[in-house]
Structure 1
């Protein structure tokens, strides 16, 4: 229960009290991250499906399905995506780039990245809801689970924190590689029972997040809370794109 509380208390705005903030709780919490994603995804799917059955068009259902995860995370993942884009795009040394990421404003790199990511998410979900409510619901749920699974992989041993404080430092290197792989295998296996394309979306979504993770570690020296947010949005967006192909 400590792990579930940690996952929901740090990755969602749901009223869950985090009773432990130690490395053991963080390890369990990041292993439970896909479960938090499942709840967020089901909430997004439910809103989109409800609007569809009430007669709303696919575009409105897609916008609502994108808005729900943003609301359930207070927009922190989107903010992290924008901050990382500004940090990477600045071309400055790691210390200066991290300082840029901590600033409250958003630069041009962040704005463009944020707009394009949201447009891509809405476009895919509109396509999926346009085909059927089931495909729309599946896409919303799979993308949310993939986003949080990417955080499980980013918390594995060998991926250091870029700062000594913050969420990145709290969860960095708490999950063993073996545990991360087992969690990923379980998520892919369960998803494959619903759709092989959805399972591929999970794998490729996490692969895209892994590429960004390696770039961030090389550029910043490790992970931060902003990096985790960027990884989640990258994984979610990529998984959605895969679902609309073919």
Structure 2
């Protein structure tokens, strides 16, 4: 049987690159999306050679409001039928809210919220018409609690998780599944900018992009609405979810204050 074509945003590094590798290993044709045309071209050529799958690429900057529509139009122009949309591209700014430039907050909202929303709206319609398709949204364990110094980022992931679960209910029985996955800290450049020590949580080992990609692929193909990546992350989230919200908020605040 032919496999669905997968469009992955933020596919040039980190979790996005690992997802491209995972889907390719399972025989899926790919459409890779990121800002760097040169890097995408190299990755696409490598995956074609090693994995034997069709692999196209489209350079797009999702921080620009018009980018989702332009990206969709380009897939139509090329005659590509996207069966799985993976909203992976994301931005993180760490620091107290008032110390981060307003343009950075708004750029984060554009990439983490507006772009996935627009892309899902564009690609979902033909999926529903075919009564076949999947959407995979990469959220975060930060979605479950407010996180000082990551306030806007955590809020954007909370939106992504809640929105995904609502779409999963709306599309039930219509041939389309929507999955949100929630990795904890993962060993990528996002959590260790400029060579700094990676962010960590006590007793919770950081994940690798490959671990996240493997679990995410399985959850997507199984049509699960929500998946927290990593056993220790699942245990931590379950423990927090049974606490009063005020206590969860204060615990997260103390962890940030004490640098743990």
TM-score (norm 2): 0.30
Higher helix content, 1 or 2 = 1
Higher relative contact order (CA 8 A, sep 6+): 1
Structure number with greater Rg is 2
Higher strand content, 1 or 2 = 2
TM-score (norm 1): 0.31
